[in-house]
Structure 1
Amino acid sequence: MDENLTDAIVMNLVVNSGEARSLAMEAIELAQQGQFDEADAKIAAAHETINAAHNFQTELVQTEINGGSVPMSLLMCHGQDHLMTAMVVIDLAEKFIAVYRKMAQ
């Protein structure tokens, strides 16, 4: 895979993962304020955005599966780190929202 294309894919991985993480954090804040419909909407948006990021990761993985080469770089590590962190934050945000929802009952 061309290095410029790889870098572009990884940057999309970073951008989408960062956005998904931010949306999940916003969802927690909304739930804390009792705004559960808005929190649910933010989590839904976070899932859409993390799915986009995951699709970029899948493109890289499939390149290697098909015999291509994907160069490992600090940028690649950074992108993977963002993806995994965002996925964990989304999972935890869903738990926080459930707790805040239960506390509001």
Structure 2
Amino acid sequence: MEGLELVSFQIIASVGAAKSMYMESMQAAQRYDFDKAEQLIEEAEEMFLKGHEAHANLIQQEASGKAVNPTLLLMHAEDQLMACETSKQIALQQILMCKKFQLLEK
């Protein structure tokens, strides 16, 4: 496996791991374990950035004149990248809401 296929799988693997961590962070927040939730957000961000960097490299490659021929696998990788970004935003909001809920319960 090499080239575009490898980059696509790198994106999928990185953002897939990040998305899982964002989901785990929401579960931690629901237990009011905000230290764990924020730790997972940080770890997820590192994984997300790996996927984002791989994608950015493809964009730079195309911008420099070397064509990137889209494949179904690349489209799937980009879809996963966007879904991960959405998961991140939802997780951040969920953590904020859980913090407010905890304050109301006191």
Q: TM-score per shorter chain, which class?
A: over 0.9
Taking the TM superposition and a 5 Å limit, the aligned residue runs for 1:88-99 are 88-99=86-97
Structure 1 segments (4+ residues) deviating >6 Å: none
- Aligned match of 2:57 in 56, 59, 79? 59
Q: Give CA deviations for 1:50-95 in whole Å, capped at 9, x if unaligned.
A: 1111000001000100000111111001000000000110011000
Coordinate RMSD, CA, aligned: 1.0
TM-aligned CA deviation for residue 4 of structure 1: 2.7
> What pairs up with 1:12-91 in 2 under 5 angstroms?
12-91=10-89
Q: Distance in 2 between matches of 1:70 and 1:10?
A: 12
C-alpha distance in 2 between matches for 1:31 and 1:4? 39
Structure 2 distance, partners of 1:4, 1:43, is 30
CA distance in 2, matches of 1:24, 1:84: 14
Paired letter, 1:75? L
Structure 2 CA distance, aligned partners of 1:69 and 1:80?
17
With the length of structure 2 as denominator, give the TM-score of the two structures: 0.94
Gaps of 5+ in 2: none
Quote the sequence identity (%): 27
SS at match of 1:70: coil
Runs of 5+ in structure 1 lacking a partner? none
- Taking the aligned partners of 1:6 and 1:73, their CA distance within structure 2 comes to 9
Structure 1 counterpart SS, 2:2: helix
- TM-score for the superposition, normalised by structure 1: 0.95
CA distance in 2 between counterparts of 1:79 and 1:20 reads 13
Give me the whole-angstrom Cα distance separating, in 1, the residues matched to 2:94 and 2:48: 18
